[in-house]
Chains A and B, each alone.
Chain A
Amino acid sequence: MIKAILIFNNHGKPRLSKFYEHYSEDTEQQIIRETFHLVSKRDENVCNFLEGGMLIGGSENKLIYRHYATLYFVFCVDSSESELGILGLIQVFVETLDKCFENVCELDLIFHVDKVHNILAEMVMGGMVLETNMNEIITQVDAQNKMEKSEAGIAGAPARAVSAVKNMNLPEMPRNINIGDISIKVPNLPSFK
């Protein structure tokens, strides 16, 4: 069973925290700090497995982690999980994020943490590995996004406009057009609700 999935940056700032066992909020924050402390001390050329910190079950549990640029991806698992399998799963997770966000970077995780949660929910459920095939995961995520868009109705018009502009084939289009925070006021017409 996977006890927790944590993503934090090189300074220990959490970018995603998912716990599959119940801990109090204080304990959750402490676990994040403790895990960061353990993982950030590791040299670059040692193996990707560590014993878990005291707060998350000690030597019964393992931390399996990978370091990509500015982010640490850490899965805390118990002895029933295959270490190599989980290591592979982290890789699939990152590749999926890369596909879904187009060259994912830390900012993507910061501004779209709910999307990251949705992707993760297709891969791990209740602490157990659900899907490991990247294409399958992306298919599911795309289907859900379609549902979301179709429901958005008129309130989604600005968002659709944004994505339409993004998908236009303009030469030399910058990668991330951040139009997200332009507030286009939609008139409050009751008949359109």
Chain B
Amino acid sequence: FPKGRSSGLMIRVIRGARTQGEERGVIQRECAAIRAQFRQADNGTRSHNLAKLLYVHMLGYPAHFGQMECVRLIASPRYNEKRVGYLGAMMLLDEKQDASLLITNSIKNDLSHSSQYVQSLALCTLACMGSAEMCRDLAPEIDLMKLIVKTLTFQAALCAVHMVRKVPELGELFTPAARSLLSEKNHGVLHGAVVLITELCERNPDTLEQFRKVVPELVLMMKGLVMSGYSPEHNVAGISDPFLQVRILRLLRILGRNNDTASDAMNDLLAQVATNTDSSKTAGSAVLYETVLTVMDIKSESGLRVLAVNILGRFLLNNDRNIRYISMTSLQKIVQTDHNAVQRHRGTIVDCLKDQDASVKRRALELSLALVSAVNIRSLMKELLLFLSSCPPELRAHTTSGIFNAAERYAPSQRWHIDTILHVLTTAGGDVRDETVPNLIQLITTATELHCYTVHKLYRALITDISVQSLVQVACWCIGEYGDLLLRGECEETEPVQVHALDDVLDALETVLQSHMSSPATRGFALTATMKLSTRITHNVDRIRSIVSIYGSCIDVELQQRAVEYNALFKKYDHMRAAVLERMPVIDKSSPGHTNGESAGGTIKELEPTKLTQEIVFPQEPSNQVSDENDCNKLS
């Protein structure tokens, strides 16, 4: 079989392998055959053997033994062989290898080959994998002005872009040509010029300064494209050469940034493009979008900026979800700098919370949070809470913390604030940060007129559902602290819960203590709350005493320790019990025991008791007794 298998047959054989191991075996055999073919003298089959190797390489198998073959093929006079050789070079050779230098000479020759297709191959390969050294060597061979075939000029310009990326100093070499090419008519050449100039300006601030002078020329070019009639060779969905328009707009953006003169010169044009471009198809939307980005990035007039933001707002209503997504992304970037303009579209943005696309939802959430203000907090929070009840699980944590931050900054009243937090805990209590619990407790203590309201609300929540730990913890704490208000049976702000006796409350707390759903921390809260009730309701503490003594032999060490200490409070230190368990003072947010989310304070369970209780007056006791009391006065 002199040619070796055809590539079609080889591919079929490889695909016939049923396991990974079998495939490896087949590939090894095929590669051995290919290697053997390479070793033979010129037999006219080299190109298709290399093509086979490239297939193998794509699947992820080693193919470096083909590198020298690429070098040989590139040097061949035949177009076929050159083409496969160059393709192989792009896949198998990279700038780190010495073999790539060997093709430099071939590329050099091919850059001035008589056939434009061969020149094109050389340019393409150089642009793809040319190393810095190769670029330095070959840059003088690229003469942008001398190429007659216009498509080649564009390719050469792109090759020049690659060279400038690899060796920035080469920028000087290409700058004059780039400037001259701008006056050509051929769109391909203009493309090349614009892309090259963009690259040169991004690399070198002096060059950028120089090219600011061409802004008027670019403006005219853009005008020509926008206002031109239908031209079949450049038309895409009614827009004349949208890719070129997008590239010109990008260049204008770079030139107008931070420069008043340049920005002024393009103001009218941008307004014209913004108003005249038909965005019913994607091509038009792409141009419009690029215009918006440019307007927002340069020093444009405020009227123009508002126009741009309005375009983004319109995009939000577009049927195409891709357009909705990118407009959200842009709105997010400008919400800080152009806050008022974006606020005008708040309604549409909030509607996007209901979008089917998860990425759009995420963007809408971030934007909505950024748009919260004292003026819109009530209505916006309603939407956010609604969103929370049905939002995708991966967004819940972010939503809850966003809601808390917004509530903290703009709460119109304490009751609203507490209600909002409770709503969040009920809906998504499992997705809130640890410090939510102490933060909420702190908030509750400050809202003194609302203690009755809060404890009734929390009690109602507790008897409904004890699965959400954060909610249960806060509820237990409140019941322990304000249980007397609960049993009083009256409440101004809300329908009071029917609580007949202390026993109902203790039932609720015991349910928490015994439930397998309760975390150790939660049980700690429940136990302490039970204990505190012994001073809130002074008749019939027997049940409390018995609960506490049972937990004295609990397997959980923390719970056991507390129970033992509480037991001691009932027995030996009964005279101090009332003082120890009395109502907590209002917790100051900046007090050392209070955490704001920093790890210094740790989780609720580890709040350093000694620091906080130092604020509570204690009679001076001998050292061993003092430590007992301090331990008993954990925050929970």
Residues of A within 8 A of B (CB): 13-17, 20, 22, 25, 29, 32, 43, 45-50, 80, 82-85, 87-88, 110-111, 113-114, 117-118, 121, 125-133, 140, 143-144, 147-148, 151-152, 155, 178, 180-181, 183, 185, 188, 193
Asked if B323 CB lies within 8 Å of chain A CBs, one says yes
Asked if B611 CB lies within 8 Å of chain A CBs, one says no
Q: What are 22 A-B pairs at a CB distance below 8 A?
A: A46-B356, A46-B359, A46-B360, A82-B250, A84-B323, A87-B322, A114-B87, A118-B87, A125-B127, A125-B155, A126-B127, A128-B161, A132-B236, A133-B233, A133-B236, A144-B117, A147-B79, A148-B79, A151-B80, A155-B44, A180-B9, A181-B12
Chain A: which residue is nearest B121 at the CB level? A121
Q: Is the CB of B359 within 8 A of A47?
A: yes
Please, which residues of chain A bring their CB within 8 A of the CB of B87?
A: 114, 117-118
Within 8 A of A (CB), among B124-173: 124, 127-129, 151, 154-155, 158-159, 161-162
Closest CB in chain B relative to A5 CB, distance in Å: 12
Please, which residues of chain A bring their CB within 8 A of the CB of B161?
A: 126, 128
Closest CB in chain A relative to B145 CB, distance in Å: 19
Which of A17, A49, A130, A193 has the most chain B CB atoms inside 10 A of its CB? Answer: A130
Of the listed stretches B280-288, B302-310, B549-557, B563-571, name the one at the interface; the rest are far from the partner chain.
Answer: B280-288
Asked if B482 CB lies within 8 Å of chain A CBs, one says no
* CA A129 to CA B321, docked complex, whole Å: 24
Asked if B403 CB lies within 8 Å of chain A CBs, one says no
Closest CB in chain B relative to A55 CB, distance in Å: 15
Q: Is the CB of A183 within 8 A of B6?
A: yes
Please, which residues of chain B bring their CB within 8 A of the CB of A148?
A: 79-80, 83
Chain A: which residue is nearest B59 at the CB level? A14
Given contact pairs A82-B290, A125-B155, A43 touches B358 in the complex (Cβ within 8 A): yes
Q: Is the CB of A85 within 8 A of B286?
A: yes
Please, which residues of chain A bring their CB within 8 A of the CB of B158?
A: 125-126, 128, 130
Q: Is the CB of B322 within 8 A of A151?
A: no
Of B7, B51, B322, B358, the residue contacting A83 (CB under 8 A) is B322
Additional A-B contacts beyond A83-B326, A114-B87 (19; CB < 8 A): A29-B60, A32-B60, A47-B321, A49-B326, A84-B286, A84-B322, A85-B246, A88-B286, A110-B15, A125-B127, A126-B159, A127-B128, A127-B162, A130-B155, A131-B151, A140-B151, A148-B79, A148-B80, A183-B6
Given contact pairs A46-B321, A47-B324, A48-B322, A110 touches B11 in the complex (Cβ within 8 A): yes
Q: Is the CB of A130 within 8 A of B8?
A: no
Of A25, A114, A144, the residue contacting B62 (CB under 8 A) is A25
Of B7, B195, B242, B323, the residue contacting A128 (CB under 8 A) is B195
